Structure 1
């Protein structure tokens, strides 16, 4: 991993200023691991509080905290996985992690069926969360890439050695440390960036269009997912079976998304799945009730596409942004997704004017989002994560209207020139 002493050198943003009086991005100020551990503990406490809530306002506050902290952990996990995984395995690891989400989705129907009283239900969820979170907190590592960008090269090397030892590549790491003086890490030369500064970079640089497109994609995808998950009963009339089947279909959809992301690339996968999801959303209410098999099949396709495209946007958002702005970008995109989800209940009021209006609205916006994605998002398949704004902006592998375009591998000569240019700095190879 190559770290530039000045990650904003090719933007119009001024030199990073002291951000003590600004709203800091806690991801960048404290790192991935401390925030994850803190959020895990607080989420368990909020779930316990919801189980023993003595008033409705207390219950609402505890549920709100649990939802916020749960999303925070999910976001941190994706950022960490993308930063410690080689580009050859990033798609596999992020897609495989979605199985946990699907299994948890399915288990909700069983837990709610077995534990009908709501206090018992919330207590069981808190207990299960504690069993899962405590080992995760113990073994959750810090991001080597984040440590490197902060100039904490000794700590980055320590985690690299642990990763290499677990993967039985300690010899490879030692050989590269001795023989290859590349992948620059400048010691103590990076100033912490707060959320305000990160947003200024994202909105005043050459990657602004990509950032805004990701936010729009998240907003539409989240609204589609919530709309499909909460406002349809196309799988079954029984609510427990409906939720279970809704989660079960996400398992093959994750596999489908992995295959598409591997062979079609990121923008083409997002565009294809968004268009399929939009078309199926439009035509599903038009199918006669007598064609129940066709209706169920299209409902499964729509549900599968809605989750698979979620994984695509997660991967895209992490791969097109530089390291110091990555978590801020994903947080902002996640915020856009929640704003989109908040609008879903209001879309249902459109049924007063037309029965097909909500589906038509959601379907058309999904198709538009897919088209914008393939036009404005560069291909990141087989490309290393960018560490600086310059590296992110230099990726111009756009499909535009030519969806059959192919791209060559990364330009190794440029990487070599970059390494030689900063050879006077301390070197740590990221394998």
Structure 2
């Protein structure tokens, strides 16, 4: 019989922290997450905008193979300069004389070169994307940006719906939203107009985000603390692999509708759901004694561990009961009650500044990350290779997020990453006419840096926040970051055509500002215990400022005034 109280980590140590059961469980979760990752980058393909121009009038019965085709185009469609000074046929304008069935050569001088909007639709070099099929171009190009923006709002809503798994169980919510994800991906492929396309896309994105969030929890909750980081990185690696697989799938299914219809293959994943258990932690915390004990015995048997199930369960419940009493006592006084509210802490100037820096940086990070991911056509070269390379840039990012903070500290690392990302992103449009290959390399380097920063900002945001508001702090910052994803499509739209440099220059400046703000206002947290109270958070004044070579004491012992020792995230 086990007499002492036992937390959940103790329970995992008894049944096996990373035995055969956990390995099989993690493998099943990674397989279930993989197809969702492929479709997550769908906008890079289904919103691809090929070269196009105004369609010729119907009475001009001419094909591209006719010898007079080029001459007729020249008489119908004016030439213009693109944002880099190169001539091209106008995409959105034609000569007014053509509308009246008069060639530009025979029109009088008053209206010979008068330009008007396309009157007979558009001619696309390729008709294989939602952008071309629903004609989200020229005067209607806002529709493409709006579709992505509304979908990103749906993504935010999906992240907020993660609380359903806390109430109804991880597996139940994951399975339901996984099936809904496959269903609505198929419905998007069957959409008959712009409204149905956007409506189904939003619901699909909500399901994707719920799946990703709950799937990450399911993958990491059942393993011991020593393996949890490795499993988390494995989830990110699967995301990157799905990202890299998306251009291969799109190449094999060039029509956007068939690309989305691969979701119907999700039916093949149904047998895997039988091997997916509910979270043991959720069973035990929600005090579902019968199913918790059944799962405890199952895990122990698979891991070949002999345990007294009743004793293990009782030991955990005793620990949980004592923990709840301690928490009630801890927030019983008025001072602690005030500290338990995030916005009460925002009244303190130092904490308000730190929280605002994290929120601003999250916005800049989201904006740059999704711009490079969803708009690879802005790079030079082949669309499929661009997406493949930007996906591959995510693989080393996960390793850098693990190594850099240990080598240089959190703040110096994230500031360096923002500086690299901002510089690469800001100067790349100005080099496009000089050397397109260099532009591609710079953008990929920027993507790798901003992805690494994306991983680090979670850690820093948690480590500067007191315990009672830590989850709220990360939630507010993450919600702020969604603003970057929401405004990003319209930022890209503002640069479409003659001002291609505007969005990348804006994102580059935002990233560089983030680098400066972190050095100036956010303290180093490497070797500093995570704060349990507002006083502990405020007592950390390890600010680099302009002296980035400054070496603070790297120790796991509490600083003076910080209080009890607490382990950092990394």
Q: Indicate the structure whose relative CO is greater, using CA pairs within 8 Å and at least 6 residues apart.
A: 1
Deviation at 1:277, TM superposition (A): 0.3
Q: Deviations over 1:215-248 (max 9, x none)?
A: 3222111100122233454764221222122212
Q: Structure 1 length normalisation: TM-score? A: 0.68
**8 A contact 1:374–1:400 mirrored in 2:** yes
1:108 and 2:253 equivalent?
no
Other structure's SS at 1:138 match? coil
Residue of structure 1 equivalent to 2:408: 264
Does the C-alpha gap of structure 1 residues 24 and 225 become closer, same or farther in structure 2, counting only changes over 3 Å? closer
Deviation at 1:286, TM superposition (A): 3.0
1:408 and 2:555 equivalent?
yes
Distance 2:374 2:481 in 1: 16
Q: Looking at CA atoms only, which structure, 1 or 2, has the larger radius of gyration? A: 2
**8 A contact 1:27–1:327 mirrored in 2:** no
1:247 and 2:391 equivalent?
yes
**8 A contact 1:221–1:337 mirrored in 2:** yes
Deviation at 1:169, TM superposition (A): 8.9
**8 A contact 1:270–1:312 mirrored in 2:** yes
Does the C-alpha gap of structure 1 residues 138 and 154 become closer, same or farther in structure 2, counting only changes over 3 Å? same
Other structure's SS at 1:285 match? helix
Distance 1:98 1:198 in 2: 37
Count of residues in Structure 1 that have an aligned counterpart in Structure 2? 384
Residue of structure 2 equivalent to 1:120: 258
1:264-283 counterparts in 2 under 5 A? 264-283=408-427
1:372 and 2:517 equivalent?
yes
Distance 1:107 1:198 in 2: 49
Superposed CA RMSD in Å reads 4.9
1:357 and 2:524 equivalent?
no
Other structure's SS at 1:247 match? helix
Distance 2:453 2:205 in 1: 22
Deviation at 1:302, TM superposition (A): 1.0
1:298 and 2:442 equivalent?
yes
1:135-150 counterparts in 2 under 5 A? 135=273, 138-139=276-277, 141=279, 143=281
1:42 to 171, 177, 180: 180
Q: Deviations over 1:109-143 (max 9, x none)?
A: 11111123333322213424862995498246255
1:342 to 479, 486, 489: 486
Give the gaps of 5 or more residues in structure 2. 1-5, 9-160, 329-336
Residue of structure 2 equivalent to 1:10: none
**8 A contact 2:421–2:511 mirrored in 1:** yes
1:307 and 2:451 equivalent?
yes
Other structure's SS at 2:341 match? helix
Residue of structure 1 equivalent to 2:59: none
Distance 1:333 1:154 in 2: 36
Does the C-alpha gap of structure 1 residues 235 and 363 become closer, same or farther in structure 2, counting only changes over 3 Å? closer
Distance 2:264 2:327 in 1: 42
Deviation at 1:83, TM superposition (A): 6.7
Distance 2:469 2:274 in 1: 25
**8 A contact 1:321–1:392 mirrored in 2:** no
Distance 2:352 2:284 in 1: 25
Other structure's SS at 1:343 match? helix
Distance 2:169 2:461 in 1: 19
Residue of structure 1 equivalent to 2:204: 66
1:205 to 317, 341, 345: 345
**8 A contact 2:247–2:385 mirrored in 1:** yes
Does the C-alpha gap of structure 1 residues 374 and 141 become closer, same or farther in structure 2, counting only changes over 3 Å? farther
Deviation at 1:325, TM superposition (A): 5.7
Deviation at 1:324, TM superposition (A): 7.4
Distance 1:54 1:199 in 2: 52
Distance 1:187 1:162 in 2: 31
Distance 1:294 1:213 in 2: 32
Residue of structure 1 equivalent to 2:28: none
Does the C-alpha gap of structure 1 residues 384 and 142 become closer, same or farther in structure 2, counting only changes over 3 Å? farther
